[in-house]
Amino acid sequence: MNNRDGKIVGQRYCVRENYATAYSIFNELYNAGVLPKAITIDGNTNVIRAIKAIWPNITIQRCLTHIQRQGLSWLRRNPKMPAGRDLRNILLTVTEIKSERDKILFIAEFEKWEKRYGESVLHLPSDHKVFGDLQRTRSLIIHAMPDMFHYLNDNNIPATTNRVEGYFSRLKIVYRQHRGLSKNHRQNFFNWYIYFKNIN
Each residue's pLDDT tens digit, 66-123: 999 999 999 999 999 999 999 999 999 999 999 999 999 999 999 999 999 999 999 9
pLDDT value at position 146? 97
Residue 200's pLDDT is what? 84
Phi then psi for residue 101, to 5 deg, are -65, -45
- Pairing between strand 59-62 and 38-41? parallel
Distance CA(72)–CA(78), nearest Å, equals: 10
Q: What is the pLDDT of residue 183?
A: 84
pLDDT at 119 (0 to 100)? 97
How far apart are alpha carbons 106 and 94 in whole angstroms?
A: 8
**Residue 42 near residue 17, CB atoms below 8 Å:** no
Q: Where are the domains of the chain?
A: 1-62, 64-146
Regions of the chain with pLDDT less than 70: none
Residues 74 and 118: their CA atoms lie apart, in Å, by: 16
- What is the Cα Rg of the chain in Å? 19
CB atoms < 10 A from the CB of 115, how many? Answer: 9
| Residue 178: predicted pLDDT | 87
Residue 13 confidence (pLDDT) = 84
